[in-house]
Amino acid sequence: MNQIEGSIKVPYFQIDESWKSRTGKGVSVAVIDSGIDTNHPDLCGKVKESVEARLDNKRIIFEPSEAGDSAGHGTACAGIISRIAPDAEFYSIKVLGAGGLGDGQAFLAGLEYAIKNRYQIVNLSLGTTKPQFFAPLHDLLDRAYQAGCIVVAAANNLPQPSFPSVFSSSLISVSKSEEANYFNFGFRYGEVIELTAPGVNIHTAWLGGGYRNLTGNSFACPHIVGIIALLLEANPGLTPFQIKSALYAIAKENQIHETEMEK
């Protein structure tokens, strides 16, 4: 790894350490989930728009919603992102109902909605194992990549591939680690799920202004979303490919530093 005066050199661009002190200001983050509790102290005033999927004559449309979060899952994910990037702008796209359950078509429509609105980062702490959604999700993720939307997806918690996390070329996929420091994420080049981030016993926002300690790949995903928000504020205009390259370079530096500390 080439380092020049405390910066990380990535092909065609260079990143210095200043990104770690950013707040995600001006970066748009779409959370496709169960909604966000906009009244939670950690998120109050940060959610710029909330929409909810509704079936209208056999097609899914999105309408402004004040229903908030029906399961807590979306609020928990947004709380993690907000802790890392407190000035990011949140856009809640509600596709899951009570118990965190939802329809695959609503999931597809939510992703398409985020792409059409060109939100800079999309948090997908959800997925599907149903093979009929493989092709349409793949097409949507190609569209997201071409539109400059950076999609981050959580791996399945069960030992079974889920879509879209296995589409490694057009998105960033994440699984949990026991690491506590969100800056110290890992990158496993060549693996189906390439990134690892904190996802064990994570203290984050919950419904009713409360908090919970949660474990799962769902909660590793927003850690990476928060990191990307910092990188984008410090380096506006980076493409999805460049962001992935930057994450890989930073993770390699993390591994080198960890190895040196062990000596």
**Active-site residues: which are they?**
33, 73, 218
User: Residue-wise over 60-92: b if at least 16 C-beta within 10 A, else e?
Assistant: bebeebeebbbbbbbbbbbbbbbbbbeebbbbb
- CB-based burial label for 59 (10 Å; 0-12, 13-18, 19+): exposed
Dist CA 152 CA 219 (whole Å): 12
**Cβ pair 217, 157 in contact under 8 A:** yes
**Cβ pair 163, 137 in contact under 8 A:** yes
Look at residue 160 and give its three-state secondary structure.
coil
What is the number of other CB atoms lying within 10 angstroms of the CB of residue 200? 15
